[in-house]
Amino acid sequence: MRSFIKINTMWQRIQTLYLGIATALIFSMFFCTFATIIGPDGSDVTIRYSEKLSYLTLMIMLITSHIAATASFKAFFLQARVSVIAGLLAIGFQIWLAIDFFINRNAMVFNVTALFPLAAAALDFMAAKRSMVDEMTIQSVKSARKARKKRR
């Protein structure tokens, strides 16, 4: 019963929802296609994210950082820091995808999933902000209680 209460309180915070959605977006990229190459004879070849080693490595790093951020729900400062790191990784992944897009934009048709890292980065930064707000609220309540006890 006690573990259910801990899990329940974890999912009641909005930053956990943000991190969960960002994790789902990045996880879905393992099964999605990145782009389609249309040949001169009309045949097409699809490229998945998991086929390129650099993309696969970045996706594994992103999933790991999102799981670490979600698991550190008790330590708000740690969750905020790990969320920012995950957001920066997602921006780096998005830049990598953008470079591939600009290099191959005439030869490939890119999928909308190429924008998932950008959405995940936005969610990561929103989660980090919310974690910091929660921590600052807790610290201000603690300091107000100390001040009241001192006055008595």
Residue 39 CA to residue 43 CA, distance in Å, equals 5
pLDDT category at 9 given cuts 50, 70, 90 is low
Helix (H) or strand (E) holding 114: none
Percent of all residues in the chain with a pLDDT value above 70, rounded to a whole number: 92
d(CA 61, CA 74): 22
Please report the pLDDT score of residue 139 as a whole number: 81
Number of separate domains in the chain? 1
d(CA 22, CA 19): 5
pLDDT of 95 strictly over 80 = yes
Overall pTM surpassing 0.75 (yes/no):
yes
Helix (H) or strand (E) holding 5: helix 2-11
pLDDT in tens, 103-150: 888 878 888 899 999 999 999 999 999 988 888 888 888 888 887 887
Q: Could you tell me the residue range of the domain that residue 91 belongs to? A: 2-151
Residues 80 and 135: beta-carbon distance below 8 Å: yes
Q: Judge whether residue 5 has pLDDT over 70.
A: no
CATH number at residue 17: 1.20.140.150
Other Cβ atoms closer than 10 A to 68:
16
pLDDT confidence of residue 136 = 84
- Candidate ranges 16-25, 72-81, 141-150; pick with highest mean pLDDT: 16-25
For residue 3, pLDDT beyond 80: no
The pLDDT value recorded for residue 119 is 96
